[in-house]
């Protein structure tokens, strides 16, 4: 058996978007998102209103911590004492750079990073990876990163189960009524289409694989949560699609937000309140699937992808799994 005490630990950096610490922290948080530019009074009021609408809570913070803890547990069980697993956030403390620096200060020379976002884009996931890589480079740390896991079999399986269960529940409650499944993800500026960015293709692949696994033929993909900027964003938005579904004779709509892995503002407000309310106005019943959270298959997906990028390091030092 490998003597793990003789092998240097590797830092595992689990990255997420971050969220305000409280209602009073929303302005600071929003200013950070805007690269130091304070939001207008109207913009700040709108974001504050949306958080208030979900109870003045910030579930992403706790949900991220739970996912990190679940991954830490799996890694420790498989490779006892081998990894130091911590979170690093894009727009809140502990910032990505804070965690990388902490690894360095504790003597770690290598880190592997993964973002709690399944689909790669230069405008989203890459911004996390770049910040982590640049900070690691400051200290001469080696770093490797997972780019995406949009088609991992366990990820697809967990999503498909949720779609299948929700469709069955809707059909049991409203038998014989026409149902449409909408896969959704966070919109990005439309210019990514001219930059050979894989974001759209990866989302389409996830949606197709989930639909096939769940036995769903009647589905579409929609965007949500577009930013309020002057440039055009990817569409159509879900709020634009719902009226057309009503016109086409649908009574039931199931939204599967495959671009997200836990509950947060874009799910609890943009879908559970805004889309549901719009559906009610149109006479549509709109529901969404459960989020992945700490589903063991999702956590195993993260671990599996980390093992891929860690492969040469683990082989180099002769690290084996615990029996």
Burial class (CB in 10 A: 0-12, 13-18, 19+), 125: buried
Do 120 and 213 fall into the same domain?
A: no
Q: Quick one: 72 and 188 in the same domain?
A: no
In a domain, 43, yes or no: no
Beta strands across the sheet bearing 285-288? 219-224, 179-186, 252-256, 285-288
Q: What is the pLDDT of residues 99-135, one digit of tens each?
A: 999 999 999 999 999 999 999 999 999 999 999 999 9
How many helices (H) and strands (E) the chain has is answered by: 11, 8
In-domain check, residue 53 = no
Whether the pLDDT of residue 47 is over 50: the answer is yes
Q: What residue numbers does the annotated binding site for Fe(2+) cover?
A: 186, 266
Domain that holds residue 166: 153-288
Each residue's pLDDT tens digit, 215-239? 999 999 999 999 988 899 999 999 9
What residues are designated binding site for Fe-coproporphyrin III? 17, 34, 50-51, 128
Q: In the 8-state DSSP scheme, what is residue 39?
A: P
Work out how many domains the chain is built from and give that number.
2
Residues placed in the known binding site: 17, 34, 50-51, 128, 186, 266
Check whether 288 has a pLDDT greater than 70.
yes
pTM greater than 0.85: yes
* Residue 175: partners with Cβ closer than 8 Å, 6 or more residues away: none
We report the CATH number of the domain holding residue 275 as 3.40.50.1400
% of the chain surpassing 70 pLDDT: 96
Whether the CB-CB separation of 56 and 23 falls below 8 Å is answered with yes
Note whether 121 and 188 are within 8 A (CB).
yes
Q: Is 318 a residue whose pLDDT tops 70?
A: no
Residue 101 lies in a domain: yes
Q: Are residues 261 and 134 in the same domain?
A: no
Distance CA 167, CA 181 (A): 8
Task: Determine the average pLDDT of the residues in 265-287.
Answer: 98
End-to-end CA distance of the chain: 9
pLDDT of residue 119: 98
Tally the C-alpha atoms within 13 A of residue 10's C-alpha that lie toward its C-beta: 28
């Amino acid at each position: 058996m490998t003597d793990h005490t003789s092998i240097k630990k590797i830092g595992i950096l689990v990255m997420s978007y971050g969220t305000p610490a409280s209602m009073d922290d929303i302005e600071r948080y929003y200013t950070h998102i805007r690269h130091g530019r304070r939001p207008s009074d109207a913009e700040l009021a709108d974001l504050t209103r949306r958080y208030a609408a979900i109870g003045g809570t910030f579930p992403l913070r706790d949900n991220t911590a739970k996912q990190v803890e679940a991954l830490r547990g799996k890694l420790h069980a498989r490779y006892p004492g081998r990894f130091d697993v911590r979170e690093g956030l894009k727009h809140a403390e502990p910032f990505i750079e804070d965690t990388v620096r902490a690894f360095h200060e504790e003597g770690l020379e290598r880190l592997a990073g993964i973002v709690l976002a399944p689909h790669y884009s230069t405008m989203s996931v890459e911004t996390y990876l770049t910040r982590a890589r640049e900070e690691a480079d400051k200290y001469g740390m080696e770093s490797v990163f997972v780019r995406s896991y949009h088609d991992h079999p366990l990820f697809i399986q967990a999503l498909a189960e949720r779609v299948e269960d929700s469709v069955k529940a809707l059909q049991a409650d409203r038998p014989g009524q026409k149902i449409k499944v909408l896969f959704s993800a966070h919109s990005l500026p439309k210019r990514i289409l001219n930059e050979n960015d894989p974001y759209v293709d990866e989302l389409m692949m996830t949606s197709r694989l989930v639909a096939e696994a769940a036995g769903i033929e009647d589905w579409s993909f929609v965007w949500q949560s577009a930013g309020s900027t002057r440039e055009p964003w990817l569409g159509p938005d879900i709020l634009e699609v719902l009226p057309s579904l009503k016109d086409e004779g649908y009574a039931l709509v199931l939204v599967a937000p495959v671009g997200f892995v836990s509950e947060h503002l874009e799910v609890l407000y943009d879908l559970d309140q805004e889309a549901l309310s719009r559906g009610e106005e149109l006479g549509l019943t709109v529901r969404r699937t459960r989020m992945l959270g700490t589903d063991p298959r999702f956590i195993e997906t993260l671990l599996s992808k980390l093992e891929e990028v860690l492969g040469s390091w683990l082989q180099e030092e002769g690290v084996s799994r615990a029996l």
